Structure 1
């Protein structure tokens, strides 16, 4: 995932997924962070979940997931999300250089590693607006990333009326 950094380029990493919140964050970024700028590289990062190869099923017996089907679905989702994100980029700002990256694993860890590897100047990430209980149980990727990356992080909340 290494990319050569030119000193005068702004490198912005936007984490995208299947959610409306991530597309809203991407749109907000394109409109507000660099509406007419040159020398910007926009990295779109999609993180596929780590496939589960085996586990204990409900009956207590070992259960193996269909790894090939899981991988195929992950690839389909990555392609679908990236196509949607590219369409948003094309619609809002046609002068921007876009590079697509796909990682696999725990989203918060992959995003933080990508920020470091790609030498991002800014991380933009959407917010699912989970309540206290859901955020406590599931964790907050945006909260984790904002605390662990070395660059500024913009957490974009989608207005409630959208």
Structure 2
């Protein structure tokens, strides 16, 4: 009997520095990744762009080039730290093929664009669990993406802490 053909799947997981993001990644590895498929997990981190903090001081003045360079260095270090943590979660899980992408821009736009480019079988995202007021002001990245990508979107909500963690 011929060997069965193993279906390949691409699972895009949006990660950031939040615990919700890492919980979603862990949940995905335990509940979505399967030995019945040849799964590739693509970890995606959206790094803020310089224009996003060009006038954060509130005075309308641009930050000095030294301050901007420091912010860019911090963002690069944050991206490296997030990716290292996410890769460790994947390595601790076991054998799974992992790719990483760090892209510049607003998380909503980056996730939607990369999803369109890669055409994954599913997009997995964590939910920050913002209440109605915070969500109204900050917007929901997961909601925006679920409305604008063409693949299934799995939003993983971290259980509320029981206080025994």
- TM-score normalised by length of structure 1: 0.88
Contact 1:38–1:95 (8 Å) recurs in 2: no
Instruction: State the distance in 2 between where 1:56 and 1:96 align.
Output: 40
Q: Which has the larger radius of gyration?
A: 2
Instruction: State the distance in 2 between where 1:139 and 1:58 align.
Output: 21
C-alpha displacement of 1:67? 2.1
**Does the C-alpha gap of structure 1 residues 136 and 59 become closer, same or farther in structure 2, counting only changes over 3 Å?**
closer
Instruction: State the distance in 1 between where 2:87 and 2:7 align.
Output: 24
**Partner in structure 1 of residue 99 of structure 2:** 99
1:74 aligns with 2:79: no
Instruction: State the distance in 2 between where 1:84 and 1:58 align.
Output: 33
Structure 2 residues not aligned, in runs of 5+: 1-5
Contact 2:11–2:122 (8 Å) recurs in 1: yes
**Partner in structure 2 of residue 32 of structure 1:** 31
Residue aligned with 2:130, SS: coil
**Does the C-alpha gap of structure 1 residues 156 and 56 become closer, same or farther in structure 2, counting only changes over 3 Å?**
closer
- How many residues get paired? 154
- TM-score normalised by length of structure 2: 0.87
**Partner in structure 1 of residue 3 of structure 2:** none
Structure 1 residues not aligned, in runs of 5+: 1-6
